Structure 1
Amino acid sequence: MLQDYATGTVASADGTKIGFRYRGSGPAVVLVHGSMESGLNHVALADALADRYTVFLPDRRGRGLSGPHAADHSLATEVADIHAVVAQAGASRIFGVSAGGLVALATARRHGRLIDKVALYEPALVLADSFYDNAWLPRFDAQIAAGKVTAAMVTSMFALRLAPTGLKVIPRPLLAALTGMMLSGEDKAAGPGDVTMRRLAPTIRYEGVIIGEAKGTEAEYADVAAEVLLLSGGRGLAWLRPGRDALVRTLPHSRTVEYPELDHGGSSDVTKANPKGRPDLVARDLSKFYA
């Protein structure tokens, strides 16, 4: 229940306000959400951990309680933001999913003296030979600038290979129209403080920025001293698997857990957009790992 959470803010290195929610008792754990999410997408996971840990749910930039992105946004910006929350919380344990997993791992590398244990659910670290590049960003930016939010979301969906293969045969205008219907339905049901997909859409470009920036950097994580738990879904994003496997080879202290039935949203709350989430399963393994 959200009423069980207190809220706080901390200033990042550039002065931007980073907001967070927290509850529980015991050692601090910081949960870093992924793309098209805010801290509110991991409330069920936080609730499941709160009997043993004080759980912090930061909103990454451009979302909810936090300030806006800067024009020169980078992975270093994200690391500074999460480091500020980790320092404020006194946390030595951190979790991150997808692009948030990339941020969590980079934070552990940069601030290893603070962080002892890092858990990552399908971190968005891609290898140098990956298909992924940021060539889609100009089109996305133009669509957002023109107010074509649904078209921009379709652009990002294909760029990040989030769409089932069968959708490629559907004309993009039709996909944009269907996406618009989904957003409108969510907008009607949303409360004043809800972080809707329409509000989150502009943040996708910054996910692309940091994924592109970190492409091919897996060898740099060989000096991460923390214990790392690499989690993945058997039905997750296949194009992130090579990066995970590279981290298994690179990180000095790592182990893996795979959930055969889970997809990329396995750690997140169950919603209409994420009907197969199982944060209870992820919380079980996180609780053991952080103990």
Structure 2
Amino acid sequence: MRKVVSRDGTTIAYEKAGDGPPIVLLNGSFRDHTIFDALVPELAPHCTTYVYDRRGRGESGDSPEYAVAREIEDLEAVIQEAGGSAVVFAGSSGANLAIEAALAGAPITKLALHEPFYRVDGFPKPPWNVAKTLRVLMEEDRRQEAVEYFLGSFLGLTPDTVAQWRKGPIWAVNEANAHTLAYDLAICGDCSVPVDRLAGYTTQTLVLNSAGTSDWLRAAAQATAAALPNGRSLELPGSWHRIDMDVLGRTLAEFATA
């Protein structure tokens, strides 16, 4: 992987592929750049893709003290590698991070978001002590329990669903990146849609959700789009928190190149 040094000296690893206008792909909880392995080939004929490992994951470095501002600087460093400005696509808690970066003035030409982790009225918010509980579990190196707690208490997955996830091929990655869940919780804050701040963001923004996702994720996506002066909401075929890859690739390519 290529490397770029973020403002605080942390090394951020990224990969570049394709040809056309630049688009930076930003992952959410648990994952590293490999979450986009199937999406990059869909985009590469139309865009120059930049995928990177967020700090604390994969081949990227980390810092002793975490701050959301440092992750914003990481994204800006990758955008600089892309030529100084770029379209950004981000999903899950990565969408929350992309929004914070956009509101902080990151050079984003267009913004595409997939189901940010907000809770609108009518849907319960995560437990008030979720961050503290996760911190205790990680201090005791109880990584599996930390992952299970995040999936259940924060994402609202049932015990049966979590048990099925434990049998899957990426569970080991979940546990390996469990320490970064605290980063995502810091990014999400109290999970409220920042309506007042979004009202001043005029960059063209596409907010996606899948047809088979949870009601709270659909509501969060639609509320985010509604709060943006130049936002558009679009529902695409897919399952829980996942859009069919060929449809997602085609949609993002059209958005990035229009």
- In structure 2, the residue matched to 1:230 is 207
CA change 1:9–1:252 in 2 (3 A) is same
Aligned 1:14-33 pairs, distance under 5 A: 14-33=8-27
Query: Between Structure 1 and Structure 2, whose CA radius of gyration is higher?
Result: 1
Is 2:218 the counterpart of 1:241? yes
Conserved in 1, the CA contact under 8 Å of 2:47 and 2:256?
no
Q: What CA distance in whole angstroms lies between the structure 2 residues aligned with 1:105 and 1:136?
A: 22
String of CA shifts for 1:85-104, please: whole Å, max 9, x gaps. Answer: 11221242110001111112
User: Which residue of the partner structure matches residue 48 of structure 2?
Assistant: 54
Please state if 1:64 is matched with 2:30: no
Q: 1:1-150 alignment to 2 at 5 Å?
A: 7-71=1-65, 73-90=66-83, 91-111=85-105, 114-127=107-120, 130-150=124-144
8 A contact 1:18–1:81 mirrored in 2 = yes
Deviations 1:136-173 (A, max 9, x none): 22222222222221111111111213413x649xxxxx
CA positional deviation for 1:10 = 1.7
The corresponding residue for 1:262 is 239
Q: Which amino acid aligns with 1:283?
A: G
Distance 1:287 1:98 in 2: 20
Secondary structure of the 2:254 match is: helix
Q: SS at 1:65's partner residue?
A: coil
TM, length-normalised to structure 1: 0.78
* Unaligned runs of at least 5 residues, structure 1: 1-6, 169-174, 188-195, 267-277
Map Cα deviations across residues 1-47 of structure 1 (whole Å, 9 max, x no partner).
xxxxxx32222222211111111112111000111211111011111
Q: Distance in 2 between matches of 1:81 and 1:133?
A: 29
CA shift digits 1:226-253 (9 cap, x unpaired): 1101110122233233332332222111
In structure 2, what is the Cα distance between the partners aligned to 1:255 and 1:69? Answer: 36
Match of 2:74, SS state, is helix
On the 8 A contact 1:121/1:231 being kept in 2, the answer is yes
Instruction: Kindly tell me the number of residue pairs found equivalent between the two proteins.
Output: 255
Aligned mate of 2:227, from 250, 260, 264: 250
Q: Identity of paired residues, percent?
A: 27
Aligned to 1:157: 151
Alpha-carbon distance in structure 2 between the residues aligned to 1:136 and 1:67:
26
Aligned 8 A contact 2:205 2:225 in 1:
no
Segments of structure 2 that go 5 or more residues without pairing to the other structure are none
